[in-house]
Amino acid sequence: MLSETLENGLRQYAVGEKLRTLRLRKKMSLVQLGRHTGLSAALLSKIERGLMFPTLPTLLRTALVFGIGLDFFFSDPRTRHALGVVRRRERLRFVPPEKGAAYRFECLDFAAVERKLNAYYAEFDAQSARKAASHQHDGAEFIYVISGSLGLSVGANDIAVHEGDAIYFDASVSHSYRRLGRALCSAVVVTVP
């Protein structure tokens, strides 16, 4: 049990409200957030409603899901700046959610606080030329091809983009990627919620 002084001190940071705002911004349910963090939906609900204050390890687990640092919860939003430097060796590698996907994504902007977009470096395997899993998500997507050639299926459209080409599309339309040819295909992929 915390003293009244400690409770009042912690309450001023509005950690629960900030967590709820982040979750709703990503259109994520408590159960989904629980799956990503390994925490129960009931515990997360108590934190969001201010009935419980999270420990730092619990808070860090949730911060990692949203690509933010702990400072997000404790700093004044008026003094926070969206600045983040990610060195090549620090990139976070993501496993695509689609089963059998033949591409790898590395997050390029995870160090920035309160990002308005998500930027990734992507490499497309030879396997992607044979098997392209479709997916869709909210927002828009922008791809700039660094090397090689990339085939995209966006809805009923099949498009080839080559080194130096760029494409922008509505990501809520079902889409898939596949490498064209034998050369390595790499790209910068930017998604905007």
* Residue pLDDT, tens place only, 73-88: 887 666 555 677 878 8
How far apart are alpha carbons 38 and 170 in whole angstroms? 32
Q: Are 13 and 47 in contact (CB under 8 A)?
A: no
Domains of the chain: 4-74 (1.10.260.40), 88-192 (2.60.120.10)
Tell me if residue 147 falls in helix, strand or coil. strand
Position 113 pLDDT exceeds 90: no
Q: What predicted TM-score, i.e. pTM, was given to this entire model?
A: 0.59
pLDDT at residue number 169: 96
Sequence-distant (≥ 6) Cβ neighbours of residue 185 within 8 angstroms: 123, 124, 145, 147, 148, 149, 150, 179
113/119: higher pLDDT = 119
Strands (E), 87-139: 92-94, 103-107, 118-124
Facing residues of 178 across strands? Answer: 151
